[in-house]
Amino acid sequence: MGHTIYEWVYIGVVVGILIWVGADSWLVEKHLEEIPEEATTIRVVAQQWFWTFEHPDGTKEVGELHVKAGKAYRFEVVSKDVIHSFNVPYFVMTMDAVPGRVNKIWFAPAEPGEFLIQCREYCGLLHYQMRAKLIVEA
C-alpha cells in the first residue's frame, strides 16, 4: 500500500506552511531584537523598591523617566539586589533585571503621554509599591 498523490500534496502543503510561519516569526523576532544604532542608552537600575534611570549625560531620575517622542531608546536593565522585571504595560515592554547581568531592550515612543512603569516580578514585601512614571514629551 503506497501513498496516493493527494497525501504527498497534503504533506507538501503542511510543510510549506510551517516553513513560511517559521521564517516570518524569525523575521519579526530579528526586527524586535535589532536595536537602532541612533538609540539613546538609558541605564535602568532596579532595587527594592524603586527604579533609578541614568541618562548618558550623567543625569539621574528616581521614580520618573522623561523621554522624547519620536526617538529610539535602548534600556540597559540591571539590578542591585534581587530579581525584578522592568515593565511598561502600554508599550508591551518587559525585561528582567537580574543581579550581575545587563539585559537590553529598546523602544521608540511615537506620541506624548504619561505611562506606568512597574515591576512584574515579586521582589519582596513592598513589591506592589515598585512603580514609576514614564513621561513621553513632545
What's the chain look like in SS3?
A: CCCCHHHHHHHHHHHHHHHHHHHHHHHHHHHHHCCCCCCEEEEEEEECCEEEEECCCCCEEECEEEEECCCCEEEEEEECCCCEEEEEHHHCEEEEECECCCEEEEECCCCCEEEEEEECCCCCCCHHHCEEEEEEEC
Q: Residue 38: is its pLDDT beyond 70?
A: yes
Q: What is the pLDDT of residue 135?
A: 97
Burial of 40 (0-12, 13-18, 19+ CB in 10 A): middle
Predicted confidence (pLDDT) at residue 97 exceeds the cutoff of 90: yes
Residues 6+ apart with CB under 8 A from 54: 42, 43, 44, 45, 60
Q: Quote the mean pLDDT of the chain.
A: 95
For cell 540597559, what's the residue?
76
More confident residue, 34 or 43: 43
d(CA 124, CA 74): 27
Q: Is the pLDDT of residue 2 over 80?
A: no
What is the residue type of 81?
D
pLDDT tens digits, one per residue of 9-35 = 999 999 999 999 999 999 999 888 888
Question: Residue 3: pLDDT band by 50, 70, 90 thresholds?
Answer: confident
Reported confidence tier of residue 1, pLDDT bands at 50, 70, 90: low
The mean pLDDT value for 32-57 works out to: 94
